[in-house]
Amino acid sequence: MGGGRAAVEGAKHVLVETWEALPRVVIDRECQSFHEKLQMVILCARYNNFNG
């Protein structure tokens, strides 16, 4: 059981390191892109045809 917990903690550590290593401009761009796509889905009443 302890091995699973160690694996989870190790994964958390890697995730935090990866996140902190990302340049701020990349994070901002991806978050804005997500927001824009979400707004398009909401406006299209869930009939999201903006990718195809």
pLDDT digits (tens, 9 = 90+) for 1-52: 567 999 999 999 999 999 999 999 998 888 888 888 888 878 877 665 655 4
| Residue 30 belongs to some domain of the structure | yes
**Residue 49 in domain:** no
DSSP for the chain, please give it. -HHHHHHHHHHHHHHHHHHHHS-HHHHHHHHHHHHHHHHHHHHTTT---TT-
**What's the CA gap between 10 and 5, in Å, rounded?**
9
Q: Tell me the C-alpha distance between 25 and 37, whole Å.
A: 18
Q: Which domain, by its residues, includes 20? A: 2-44
Considering its fold, how many domains does the chain have in total? 1
pLDDT of residue 43: 82
